Structure formats: structure tokens, C-alpha cells
Amino acid sequence: MISFIYVVLWALFTYLMSFYVLGGFWIILWFILGAVASFLGTVLIILAHFPYMKYTKFSNRYKYYLSRSTSHWLIIFFMRLKIEIKGKENIPQEGPLCVYANHKSYADPFIVFEFMRRPTTFTPKMSVYKAPLIGLWLKYLGAFPIDRSSDRNTARAMVDAIKVIKDGMAMAIFPEGGIKDRNDEKMVAMRAGAYRVAMKAGADLLPVSIQGTTLIKHRAPWRRTKIQVLIHPVVKYDSIKEKTTSEVADLMFHIINDKLIQENHKAQ
């Protein structure tokens, strides 16, 4: 929807300016300016949705559709990503679920939107949650920030996150605790605490391997980057409920990394 609005505004600006102001070779200028004008117009339309975002439930379908549509617009026109997704059939459409993936780029949450069709929220770090507009949007999506400077705030956020997961909303978590190494696509850190929320919520775990995001910083926005996403079979809660969080973390670490190692060997 958002991509369609952006293109229509761009075309409309170019047409009106060339028809009513100056035509001919001036259309090149209007086309370039149209990209800026349509971007601003699209942003205003998105901002107009903020009251709706604020007063609707976290799991509201249109709210999530709008978020996915906005994310897709940014991916296509600004991040220039071509995403190939395998294993969509492994995504449970209902029930408590936590999604875990390697994290090497700020584009990773947008990539999650590409394959998660059911309402999904995130656990951003506090600095992202406090960012203007982005923080509000995350808040309206039911995101729960991780405040590493305060154990009390983190514990409070976890309690709220567990409630949301139990209500059937998926939670996407990057268990490395931030971007640790932008040049190595494998998970290089393993925070066992990132799995505590899934264990306490009695949620199934969905491991995801994302390949290619280390190249984005060298290519975007001028060159397209090919991203491969592999969605692994879900790890049922019943199969891990007797394990410690460290054991679960080790299991997920190997599931996600083994695929990335295999793909690296193929590339070589």
C-alpha cells in the first residue's frame, strides 16, 4: 500500500509540473524533485496514522499491515534489498511464538516484517526505543525495550512481554544483544537471557538464518543487495521445557549458525 502511494504521488507530481508549469526537458527536473516530494507526502500519510496506531490493540491486523507495508517500501526504494525467503511453511500461524535470528544490520527488523505475516513485535535496545517517531511506532506495536542499565526496568518489560506472547502475538528477538560483528554473518555471541522470555511464556521457538546483510552497508542505496532468509522448523516448547536457558541458547546458536557456515562454504 505505502509503495503504491509513493509511486502514485511521484508520478502525479511529475505529470502536473510538466503539464501546468514547464514541459519538455524540464520533465527530468520534475522527475527528480518528484522523488523528494512523494517521499515527504508519503511520510505525512504515515504520520497521519499515528493516532490510529496509538489507540488500537497491539495485535490489530491493519496496524501490522501498515507497518509491514511501510517496511516493504523502505526495503524496495531505499535499502534496495532483494529478499529470497525459504521455509515460510515453518511459521506457526497461532500460539505463543518467539522468533530468533542472527543480527548484523539495522535492516534485520525490516527483513523480519517480510516473512512474518502474523502480528509481531520486537525487543529493541533502549537507544532505539527513545528515537523520535521510530520509538513511538515501536511502542504502538507493543515493543518492549531492553534497558541494560536497569535490571528493574528489564524485569518489568519482560513481564509485559510474556503477557503479549501468551496472548498470541509473536516476539522477534535478536539474541546477540546488538550488532557484535558487522563482517561476520554468524552469531558471535550467545546471551542465554534472551531465551528466558520464551521459556517463561511457554512459547515455541522459531530459528531464522539471515544471509547477506553484512553487504548492505557497502551497497545501499545505490546497488541492490541479495538477502537469503532460511526459516528453520519450529522448536516446540515441550521439547525444551526441561532445559536450562543456556542449553536452549546453545541449541539455537547451532541451528542458526550451521546454515550460515554451509552457505559460506558454498560461496567459497
Contacts of 213 (CB under 8 A, 6+ apart): 104, 105, 107, 108, 111, 185, 225, 227
Closest CA to 107 of 145, 76, 79, 70: 79
Domains of the chain: 1-79 (no CATH), 82-267 (3.40.1130.10)
Residue at grid coordinates 525444551: 240
Q: What per-residue confidence (pLDDT) applies to 133?
A: 85
Q: What is the pTM of this model?
A: 0.86
pLDDT in tens, 30-44: 999 999 999 999 999
Q: What per-residue confidence (pLDDT) applies to 267?
A: 47
Amino acid making up residue 81:
L
Closest CA to 168 of 219, 120, 135, 206: 120
pLDDT in tens, 112-121: 999 999 999 9
Q: Which three cell numbers stand for residue 107?
A: 535492516
Q: What per-residue confidence (pLDDT) applies to 268?
A: 40
Is residue 70 within 8 Å of residue 2, measured between CB atoms? yes
What residues in the chain have per-residue pLDDT under 70? 147-151, 153-154, 177-185, 189, 260-268
